[in-house]
Structure 1
C-alpha cells in the first residue's frame, strides 16, 4: 500500500500494518469528535511516525498513486475534519 503524507512524500507499507494504523486512526477520530486538541496533536504525530517507521520512503521522483492520503503534521482540527470519511482517515 502507498501512503502519502501531505507536504512530505510517499511511503510503501505492507498491508499487514493497516491494523496498527487503524487503531491510531480510531483514536484520532475520537479526539477530534471530543475537541481534544492536545490528544489530536499527539495521535496525529503517532500516526505519521508509524507510517514513517513502518514504511519504506519512495524517491521524490516516484509518482505512484496513493491509496491513503494523510494530513501534514501541522494540519489543524478543521483541516483534518474535511479529509475524514465515516471511517476516519483510513478506511476499514
Structure 2
C-alpha cells in the first residue's frame, strides 16, 4: 500500500503492518473524539513514526496513487477530526 504523509511524501508499506498501525489509529481516534490534545499529539507522532520505520520511502520524483493519506506531524486536532472517518485514518 502507498501511504502519503502530508507535507513529507509517499511511503510504500506492506499490508502486513496495517494491524500494528491500526492499534495506534484506534488510540488516535479515541484522543480526537475526547479532545485529548496531549494524547492526540503523542499518538499521531507514534503513528507517523511507525509508518516511517516500517515503510520504504518512495523517491520524491515518484507520484503513485495513495491508498492512505495521513496528516502532517504538525496537524491540529481539529484538522485531523475533519479527516477521520468512523473507523479512523487506517481502513480496518
TM-score, normalised to structure 2, is 0.98
State the 1:91 CA deviation: 1.3
Name the residue aligned to 2:35. 35
Provide structure 2 residue ranges, at least 5 long, that are not aligned to the other structure: none
**Correspondence for 2:72:** 72
Equivalent-residue separation in structure 1 for 2:64 and 2:21 (angstroms): 20
TM-score by length of 1: 0.98
Task: Kindly report structure 1 stretches of 4+ aligned residues shifted beyond 3 Å.
Answer: none
Structure 1 gap ranges (5+): none
* Superposition CA RMSD, Å: 0.5
